[in-house]
Amino acid sequence: MAFNAGCLGRTYAADWQELDHQRHTAYLLAVAGEEQSFEPARPLACFASVYLLWPIVPMVFSDPEIGLDLPRLLHGEQEFWFDRPMTFGERIRPTGTISRAEEGRGMVFLELTCHGADGAGVAVAHSRSLFLVRGRQ
């Protein structure tokens, strides 16, 4: 199936995600190694962003109506920002919207903007990712 630029504006929602201390420690050990010697009082921003907002990405990649050629997909850009510090045990609900969907220069440009809302429904964590899909050779 060919890429469908009409996917612009499509929105996805994931289940609630808990910022759990055990998952955080496993992530920290995987990234920093077992020799890491600090125990943060708060979750690291990279953990909060990847593990709380990431559930949306597989939904986008597996949506047959978008028509992404996954073997040719490249990770272009990524950024995260937070409106306030997050705490262990806090739960957020991630949503994501395709904010750019176009073809040009022999590539597909797909931008995904995600937000994680807290229990009060306020977005507190955000991300923007740009995925590139190379054209056929």
Q: Is residue 2 part of a domain?
A: no
- pLDDT 10s digits, 86-124: 888 999 999 999 999 999 988 999 999 999 999 999 999
Q: Are 111 and 99 in contact (CB under 8 A)?
A: yes
- pLDDT 10s digits, 15-56: 999 888 888 878 777 877 766 666 677 777 777 777 667 899
What CATH number is attached to the domain comprising 15?
Answer: 3.10.129.10
| Number of domains composing the chain | 1
Q: Is residue 85 part of a domain?
A: yes
Q: Is residue 83 part of a domain?
A: yes
Q: Is residue 29 part of a domain?
A: yes
| Sign of the alpha-carbon torsion through 97, 48, 50, 54 | negative
Predicted local distance difference test score (pLDDT) of residue 137:
44
Predicted local distance difference test score (pLDDT) of residue 20:
85
Q: Is residue 103 part of a domain?
A: yes
Q: Are 72 and 109 in contact (CB under 8 A)?
A: no
Helix (H) or strand (E) holding 77: strand 73-82
Q: pTM of the predicted model, to two decimals?
A: 0.86
Predicted local distance difference test score (pLDDT) of residue 113:
95
